[in-house]
Structure 1
Amino acid sequence: MQRQGQGGSAVIRFRAAGVLLLLAHLLLVAWLTLRPLDVMWVTAANLRPLAGIKADLALGPVEAASRIGEGLLLLAPLGILLPMAGGRLIVSPLASMARTVAAGALLSLGIELLQTGVPGRVLDVDSLLLNTAGVALAHLLVVPAGRARLRRRGQRSTSASSRQQRGAVLREDASQGSTPTIPRVGIAP
């Protein structure tokens, strides 16, 4: 559970930005992957893992880098946007990684299954693998460092505000003088 002290509105804005960017990215992915292609013929579905990647590597390094890079980059922003939309700063890195990669894999699977009904598109297991690997890489490269930075920033602002509050309390106590004492009264007979 997140504490929403002074930075409560910042957390809400951060999560809202994450949700908006996530929706924009998903709309872009849907537009790129679910549009019908006007082609003369369509290749058969690739159900053998890594067969398409091996075929891409046989085309040469430039073409292979282009095709593999497209697969890695298509859903890679989800590795950052899903945790951003969640808005958690204190979370197990392994649990965060597992949740994000699982969500990315399920989304990629959904896209691949929807593509079977789109003219010119076919199922490709390698796309599923590359998309999931892209989500995992983006998460590993950005999220742990970003969370650590935000936690440090939050601790600095929290410690500065608590020092200011303590200083105000001390000044208040000094201006009022000493606190009077009240003698205890015993129980009546």
Structure 2
Amino acid sequence: MQRQGSIGGSAAIRLRATGIVLLVAHLLFVAWVTLRPRDVPWVMPTNLHPFDGIRADLRLGPQEAARRIGEGLALLAPLGVLLPLVHGRLRVSPLASLIRTVTAGALLSLAIELLQTGVPGQVADVDSLLLNTAGVALAHATVVPAARVWLRRRGERRVRAAVPQEEAAQGRAPRIPRVGVAP
């Protein structure tokens, strides 16, 4: 039995399976990038003051700031698309979907920052948490609503195209012309 508002059929199973594989691959990549030990002679202190690291990045110049802030935004941004894809629902409140996805992204980013405290050469940074969460929100807001609309329209076209074929297979019901009421 199909859930209300979910993608139907074997295409949905393939789409969700692809989403799961991509999600696992992305999480493995994120773990490799963020949790591997680094052999560095000196490490910046932990940043627990919001926006201090972003301000420091902005002081480095526009190119370096764009690179560093872009890296923070892009690290977990694919989760904004992959988590709803794995969930597989087409008819869901856009706000509820955004809140669920951003919350999951924020919790994952928080877990990464907490795990980094025990890794040599890695430092916890509250700005990374903020940028990662903002990246998830931006990716979700820009891609998911449009993708859901496209998939819903595509599914409706398939249903409309399939109905005449089903009627032809079963035989058409006789059409009786309406007769008006006599005076």
With normalisation by structure 2, the TM-score equals: 0.90
The SS at the match of 2:119 is: coil
> In the alignment, which residue of structure 2 is the partner of 1:178?
none
Question: In 2, distance between residues paired with 1:77 and 1:4?
Answer: 21
Question: In 2, distance between residues paired with 1:123 and 1:4?
Answer: 38
Please give the residue correspondences for 1:1-189 in structure 2 after superposition, counting only pairs within 5 Å.
1-2=3-4, 7-171=8-172
Is contact 2:81-2:140 (8 Å) kept? Answer: yes
Which protein shows a greater Rg? 1
Deviation of 1:170 after TM superposition, in Å, equals 3.4
Question: In 1, distance between residues paired with 2:51 and 2:64?
Answer: 16
With normalisation by structure 1, the TM-score equals: 0.87
> Alpha-carbon deviations, 1:128-162, whole Å to 9, x = none?
00000000000001000000000000000011111
Question: In 2, distance between residues paired with 1:93 and 1:161?
Answer: 29
Q: 5+ residue gaps in structure 2?
A: 175-183
Going from structure 1 to structure 2, the CA distance change for 1:134 and 1:145 (only over 3 Å counts) comes to same
Which amino acid is 1:94 matched to?
A: L
Is contact 2:6-2:90 (8 Å) kept? Answer: no
Q: How many residues align?
A: 172
Q: 5+ residue gaps in structure 1?
A: 175-189
Question: In 2, distance between residues paired with 1:40 and 1:139?
Answer: 38
Question: In 1, distance between residues paired with 2:13 and 2:56?
Answer: 46
Question: In 2, distance between residues paired with 1:3 and 1:83?
Answer: 13
Deviation of 1:45 after TM superposition, in Å, equals 0.4
> In the alignment, which residue of structure 1 is the partner of 2:178?
none
For the aligned residues, what is the CA RMSD? 1.5
Deviation of 1:166 after TM superposition, in Å, equals 2.1
Question: In 2, distance between residues paired with 1:166 and 1:141?
Answer: 40
> In the alignment, which residue of structure 1 is the partner of 2:177?
none
Deviation of 1:111 after TM superposition, in Å, equals 0.2
The SS at the match of 1:153 is: helix
Is contact 2:50-2:127 (8 Å) kept? Answer: yes
Deviation of 1:169 after TM superposition, in Å, equals 2.9
Deviation of 1:4 after TM superposition, in Å, equals 7.8
Report percent identity of matched pairs: 68
